[in-house]
Each structure stands twice: as C-alpha cells, then as structure tokens.
Amino acid sequence: MHFELTEEQRLIQDTARRFAAEEIAPTLEQEEARHEFRPDRVARMGALGFFSCALPEELGGSGMGYMESVLMAEQIARISASWRLPFNMQNLGPALTVTKFGTAAQKKKYVPGWVAGTQLGFFAMTESNTGSDVASMKTHAIDKGDHWEVHGSKMWISQAHVGDAGLLYAYTDRSRGNKGMTAFIIEPKNWKGCTARAIETKLGLKCAPTGEFAFDGMKVPKENVLGEPGDGFRICMWQLNQTRIGCAAGALGVAGGALDIAVKYANERTQFGKPISQHQMIQAQIAEMAVEHQAAQMLVYRAAWLKDNGKPNQYETSVAKYAASEAAVHAANECMKIYGSFGFSTEYPAERFYRDAKSLQVVEGTSNIQKIIISGMATGATPNRE
C-alpha cells in the first residue's frame, strides 16, 4: 500500500488550496449574504483544469483522474461547500456521463464547454414527489416523430435556472417500468416550453444556485437522446455513482474546514486561565473530529483509487459518501459547540459549516439510501459494480 500522494497530486492539491484561499475566501461572506453565484469563477476553475478529470484529451481532459478531482474538490470545500458543487455540475455529472454514453457528435458539441466552465451544466432527476425513489418520477416525453415533447417538472436542481446545457431524465414508456426511462441532453435557455426559476429558501449552500424546471411541451431533437430510449435509469444510476464521489470529497472538505477553525479558535480562546484547547472536554471533541475526518479521508481516497483503476467501486463509493457526510455533520456540530455563543453568530464561519454540512446527508443519495446500498452489497443481495 502507498499512502503518499505523487508530486503532481500535491501540486494539484496546492493549486486548489491557493485558489480557495485567494479567490474565494476574501469575498465569500459578502457573496453568501447576497446569495451570489459567479459564472466567471466557474470559468476560472475550468481554465485551471478543475473540471478536466477522467476525460479524454480530445474533449478537454488533462490526463488526471478521480483522485485528482477529489483532492481539488476537498480543498475548495474546506473554504466553501457551495463552490464544491461545480465539480459535479460540470465534470463528474454531465461531462463524464455524456463521454461514456454519448455519440461522437454529442461529445464534441457539449463536453468541452462543461470542461472549460464556459457552459454551465446540471442534471435533472428530482421532482416534488421523487427523491430517493428515482423510478417514481412523473416527467415524461412523447415521441413526435422528429422530436420528443417533454411535460412535467423537476425541482431542487443545482444550476437549473443558470444552466446552459445538462441532462434530463424522463419516462418515454412507463409501461416498461424503469426500463422505460430515457436520458436527454437539453438546452433550457434555447428551447421553448421550458421555464426555470430559482429556489432561494435554502438552509445552506447560499452561493450554489438551486432551481426548478417546468416543462410544457419542450421539444427535444431526436439526436439529443443520450444512449438509447429506455437506457435512462441505467445511465442515471451510473452517473450517481460518479457524482457521489464528488459529494464525498465535499464532505471531507467541510469536515476538515470545521476542524481547522475549531482548533484555531480553541487555541485562541481563553477560559479559566488557559486556552480552551487545554481543557479535556474540548480535547475530546477535537479528537473525535480528527479521527472521523482521517477515517473518512482514507475511505474517499480508496473509492477514487478504485475508480481510476477500473475496479468495481459502487460499494466503496457509498461507504465513503456515507462516512464522510456523517463525519462532516458531526464535525460542524462540534465546531459550533466549541465556538459557544459565537458559533451561533453569522459573523463567524462555524454556523455556515453547520448549515452547509446538512446538505451532504441528502444529495446524490441520502444517508439512508447509502445504508441500503451498502447493506445490499455486504449481504450479497446485489453485486458491486463500476
């Protein structure tokens, strides 16, 4: 076993760390207060190669893999969980999925823009009554001969109302169950019959835009079907196993960031004549945070390594996502307690870490869904897949 990062990986990690410190942190609090999303920052991240991982060079890939994506996303999330989201919206979601299942024309048209960060991506699965049970979705598309006509709605879609091109999952033949679901590449800003609006009533992730789609007869060209009609559920499940590692990396970042500021504050804050870091109760809290963070880090890195080596990893990815998400929530909670009253104040970052951490127990499969996946594979009921 080799636990050391390569020199190149350390340089990539440092690039992301410096980007977060120099280009996100200085204005983050003001942007959080305004719920501000900056497309120019996404393009800047793209220019630095943040969205180029696990992709072929002819589509903008850099030769880097999942491990490098995890390392970069982790460093960004140590400063801002909101700004970890573009890794999924650009690279691990749309770009990787179209690269695997798309035609040559689809890849050429869409993937380079997602990689460059100049074309904002998204993937639309969730509906008002469809979350963990993806197969229960109501959105459907009707075959009109030379195009598909989409009706229905999606909600809680990251980058929905700012997105240029992304993935849509809808039924094309409900009689076939989940084998009647189809994946489409859509351009909501360019096509009639699609309305998008922002959702701003969120607990956290204030700088990560979230919205909903309403489809009223949106026409999708036949050439924008991803894979074949009926492949949608299979594609969706494959995609979730890729975006899940991005969430796990984000959780690592949140847990690590909460630990960082908790340690700093504990060393600075004095009570009963000494820094609170010298009191056993505080030491116990910090020890728990540190152990859970390191354990989750090993699990996430292992899942990324399996992906990069083409080995079955669905089990390990779910283990990593579950462990890291729970570690992030616990770390953020302990951080707030260490800060005391200041942890409850919006003037300090502890409360932001707490709010942002909660999303990680929900997105890309809730913690309960991860338990179902993990237990199914642990008991041999379902196989481990790539």
Q: Which domains does the chain have, with CATH numbers?
A: 7-116 (1.10.540.10), 123-232 (2.40.110.10), 237-378 (1.20.140.10)
Question: What is d(CA 347, CA 328) in angstroms, rounded to the nearest whole number?
Answer: 21
User: Who's near 261: CB < 8 A, 6+ residues apart?
Assistant: 335, 349, 350, 353
Burial 9-40 (b: 16+ CB within 10 A, else e): beebbebbbebbeebbeeebeebbeebebeee
Per residue of the chain (386 residues), what is the pLDDT tens digit?
Answer: 889 999 999 999 999 999 999 999 999 999 999 999 999 999 999 999 999 999 999 999 999 999 999 999 999 999 999 999 999 999 999 999 999 999 999 999 999 999 999 999 999 999 999 999 999 999 999 999 999 999 999 999 999 999 999 999 999 999 999 999 999 999 999 999 999 999 999 999 999 999 999 999 999 999 999 999 999 999 999 999 999 999 999 999 999 999 999 999 999 999 999 999 999 999 999 999 999 999 999 999 999 999 999 999 999 999 999 999 999 999 999 999 999 999 999 999 999 999 999 999 999 999 999 999 999 999 999 999 98
200 assigned to active site: no
Closest CA to 238 of 175, 312, 145: 312
DSSP assignments along 277-324, one per residue: GGSHHHHHHHHHHHHHHHHHHHHHHHHHHHHHTT---HHHHHHHHHHH
Instruction: Give Cα 314 distance to the centre of its chain.
Output: 16
Query: Could you tell me which residues are beta bridge partners of residue 185?
Result: 167
Structural tokens at position 326: 């729970």
Q: Distance between CA 63 and CA 52 in Å, rounded?
A: 8
Q: What pTM was computed for the model?
A: 0.96
Query: Which of 8, 223, 364, 386 is flagged as catalytic?
Result: 364
Q: How many CB atoms lie within 10 A of CB 88?
A: 30
Lookup result for tokens 């800060």: 339
